[in-house]
Amino acid sequence: MDRRNFLKVVAGATVVAVNPSLICGNLYAADGLLYAAYERAQLVDESGSPIKASSLEKEVTYIFNYPYASTPCMLIDLPESTNQNIKLKSEMGEEYIWKSGVGKDRTIVAYSAICTHQLTHPTRNDSFIQYVPKNKPTMAYSSSGVIVCSSHLSAYDAKAGAKVLSGPASQPLASMVLEHASDDTLWVVGVLGSDKFQDYFKAFKPEFKQFYNGTAKAKKLVSISAKTIKLTKYSKELIQY
């Protein structure tokens, strides 16, 4: 099984899970801010059947919600292997390491679909954020094969932990920590990096009422499985510049 192993670190009276790959000098999250473990959930399709890594279409943006019922994430099978052991930094200056993608060729990545600039994210009505395939142009960056938020043209490097390449975004997109099992299934187990979940919950209460029957249900933690569908089916309209 291609999966992360985690050890527990005691910080005061709190026990937090820390990825050993982060422990490199000061590059670790003993306070739990840069890695957060959540319940392990299997990625499944609309019928509830497990998604196989080999069945993913290349350079297609898929959406699943994790670690909360309303927090959207992108799943992408890139056309080539990701970079490895990328040093990243949050907007507060906290450093961490993104190890790599998963799968046979390290091409599968998952990131929060909440832009770190002004929280643009996919809704059932529309989406201004998505992965732009290598053969499709974008105004946000000099080359494609990147994640673009078309609200203000921030571009993120999908091959390198979603680090910021251009635009006003202040930090990388948070990464969803994936496991690729021996039976080719995919699981999500936690979040790496500085997320925007609490800002998101404060900003979109009317949206949560519309789509989730209120904030309480929107903040419900995902467990067991996470339904995963193409962005083209998740949102009625896609806007990309």
The residue with greater pLDDT, 17 or 68, is: 68
The domain 39-238 is placed in CATH, from the list 3.60.10.10, 2.102.10.10, 3.40.50.300, 3.30.565.10, at 2.102.10.10
Q: What is the pLDDT of residues 226-241, one digit of tens each?
A: 999 999 999 999 999 9
pLDDT score, position 33: 55
Which residue type sits at 102?
Answer: V
Q: What is the pLDDT of residues 64-88, one digit of tens each?
A: 999 999 999 999 999 999 999 999 9
**For the chain, which residues make up each domain, given as ranges?**
39-238
Residue 29 backbone phi and psi in degrees, to 5: -115, 70
Q: In the chain, helix, strand, coil percent, each to 5?
A: 10, 35, 50
pTM of the model: 0.87
Q: What is the mean pLDDT of residues 26-53?
A: 81
pLDDT score, position 9: 33
Report whether pLDDT(11) > 90: no
pLDDT band at 3 (very low <50, low <70, confident <90, very high): very low
Give the least confident one: 6-10, 38-42, 63-67, 104-108: 6-10
DSSP 8-state secondary structure symbol assigned to residue 205: H
Q: What is the dihedral of CA 227, 156, 56, 105, to 10 degrees?
A: -130
pLDDT score, position 62: 98
pLDDT score, position 34: 85
**At which residue do the structure tokens 């910080």 appear?**
11
- How buried is 42 (Cβ within 10 angstroms: 0-12 exposed, 13-18 middle, 19+ buried)? middle
Any alpha helices (H) in the chain, and if so which ranges? 197-203, 205-212, 215-218, 231-234
Report whether pLDDT(32) > 50: no
pLDDT band at 114 (very low <50, low <70, confident <90, very high): very high
Report whether pLDDT(30) > 50: no
